[in-house]
């Protein structure tokens, strides 16, 4: 390779092309500053560096040097080994939060790269968006989305439970609780908890579960015990015809099935009471 040749990025070549007329007195520093989107003071410093170092003056002087924030190899090995031992199914963001509790502060994106190079993390393919999200309601309490999420929350350490969730559409404030199943009794209790904490919402947005929706043999809609209770409370009820329609509560449930399950595991929760304690004291803001 020719030793006189200087390797430059496209950005550095563009900078040199703009600065060459400045050195020849054919372009002002103010014009160069506008073209490079820098201050005139930066252009003066750059010009002095080019005059003293030649074309290589446009190259960043830290090129090839380790970053000031770079973690050493011992720190990296410690973080990756701890992840491999204690958090093998954690995502990088959640794992970074847990590693920080052990005094290993690392950026989630840096940890993602370390895990990827160690073969411990495979990037997930993002599905293409196929619909536009509905805008949030403007006011708190104008609309509340509700849904249940059956799942093996305790991973076999205890009974199977359903997580029932109510989330405000405008602010994403959440009230949630574990119950033995997605039942009318469970939703009645959750609604009572929500009313005590946030007051009466204008409307409730749910799927068409039999708890909220009933039909006669002639396919005529009938009120259920729960919708009659909403009517007495003067709370409107809106039926969603697809999971995507109530996407806010669906996304919360998806996050809970990932992060909350792992927090329950770390806490050693084995009963519904212990799971609700972790949910309300650790997981929910």
**CATH code, 205:** 3.30.420.10
> What is the sign of the dihedral through the CA atoms of 76, 81, 82 and 83?
positive
Q: Is the pLDDT of residue 188 over 90?
A: yes
Residue 190 sits in the same domain as residue 150? yes
> 180 with 234, same domain?
yes
- Residues paired with 147 in a beta bridge: 165
Question: Is 66 domain-assigned?
Answer: no
Q: For residues 36 and 91, state if they share a domain.
A: no
175 and 239 share a domain? yes
Q: Give the percent of the chain with pLDDT over 70.
A: 96
In the numeric block, which tokens belong to residue 8? 């430059």
> Percentage of the chain with pLDDT > 90?
74
Residue 169 lies in a domain: yes
Co-location of 168 and 238 in the same domain: yes
Cβ contact 159:180 at 8 Å: yes
Residue 231 confidence (pLDDT): 94
Neighbours of 249 (CB within 10 A): 26
Mean pLDDT of the chain, nearest integer:
90
Q: Are residues 230 and 276 in the same domain?
A: yes
> Is residue 250 in some structural domain?
yes
The answer as to whether 100 is a domain residue is yes
Q: For residue 134, tell me if it sits in a domain.
A: no
User: Does residue 154 sit in the same domain as residue 235?
Assistant: yes
Measure the CA–CA gap between 110 and 116, rounded to whole angstroms: 10
Do 53 and 81 reside in the same domain of the chain?
no
Question: Within this chain, do residues 39 and 112 fall inside the same structural domain, yes or no?
Answer: no
Total domains in the chain come to 3
What would you measure as the largest C-alpha separation in the chain, in angstroms? 91
Name the band, by pLDDT with cuts 50, 70 and 90, for residue 1: very low
Query: 204 in a domain, yes or no?
Result: yes
pLDDT of 191 strictly over 90: yes
Mean pLDDT to the nearest integer, 256-281: 96
Residue 273 is predicted with a pLDDT of 96
The predicted model gives 245-264 an average pLDDT of 93
214 domain-assigned: yes
pLDDT digit string, tens, across residues 26-55: 999 999 999 999 999 999 999 999 999 888
Report the C-alpha gap between 63 and 60 in whole angstroms.
6
If you write DSSP's letter for every residue of 243-284 in order, what string do you get? GGGGHHHHHHHHHIIIIIHHHHHHHT--SHHHHHHHIIIII-
Q: How far apart are CA 34 and CA 43, in angstroms?
A: 10
Q: Do 215 and 269 fall into the same domain?
A: yes
pLDDT for 128:
65
Domain presence at residue 160: yes
Sequence-ordered strand ranges (E) for 142-247: 144-151, 161-168, 174-179, 203-206, 214-215, 221-222, 236-239
Report how far apart, in Å, the C-alpha atoms of 6 and of each of 11, 46, 55, 248, 281 are.
Answer: 14, 17, 8, 53, 59
* Of 5 and 187, more confident: 187
pLDDT band of 217, cuts 50, 70, 90: confident
Residue of higher predicted confidence among 73 and 219 = 73
Looking at the structure, tell me whether residues 51 and 101 fall in a common domain.
no
Average pLDDT over residues 136-155: 94
Domain with 109 in it: 73-117
Same domain, 41 and 93: no
- This prediction has a pTM of 0.73
* pLDDT tens digits for range 195-214: 999 999 999 999 989 999 88
**145 pairs with which residues across the strands?**
167, 205
């Amino acid at each position: 390779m020719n030793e006189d040749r200087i390797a430059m990025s496209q950005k550095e070549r563009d900078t040199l092309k703009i600065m060459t007329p400045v050195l020849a007195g054919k372009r002002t520093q103010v014009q160069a500053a506008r073209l490079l989107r820098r201050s005139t003071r930066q252009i003066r410093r750059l010009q002095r560096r080019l005059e003293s170092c030649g074309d290589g003056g446009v190259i960043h002087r830290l090129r090839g040097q380790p970053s000031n924030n770079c973690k050493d190899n011992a720190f990296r090995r410690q973080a990756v080994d701890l992840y491999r031992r204690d958090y093998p199914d954690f995502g990088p963001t959640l794992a970074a939060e847990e590693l920080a509790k052990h005094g290993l502060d690392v950026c989630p994106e840096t940890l993602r790269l370390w895990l990827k190079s160690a073969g411990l993390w495979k990037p997930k393919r993002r599905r293409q968006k196929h619909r536009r999200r509905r805008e949030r309601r403007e006011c708190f309490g104008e609309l509340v989305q509700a849904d249940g999420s059956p799942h093996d929350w305790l991973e076999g350490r205890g009974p199977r439970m359903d997580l029932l969730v109510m989330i405000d559409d405008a602010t994403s404030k959440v009230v949630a609780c574990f119950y033995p199943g997605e039942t009318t009794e469970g939703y009645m209790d959750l609604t009572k908890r929500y009313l005590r904490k946030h007051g009466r919402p204008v409307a409730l947005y749910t799927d068409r579960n039999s708890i909220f929706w009933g039909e006669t043999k002639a396919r005529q809609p009938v009120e259920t015990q729960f919708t009659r209770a909403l009517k007495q409370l003067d709370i409107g009820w809106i039926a969603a015809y697809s999971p995507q329609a109530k996407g806010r509560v669906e996304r919360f449930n998806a996050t809970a099935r990932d992060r909350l399950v792992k927090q329950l595991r770390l806490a050693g929760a084995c009963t519904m009471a212990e799971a609700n304690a972790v949910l309300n004291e650790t997981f929910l803001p």
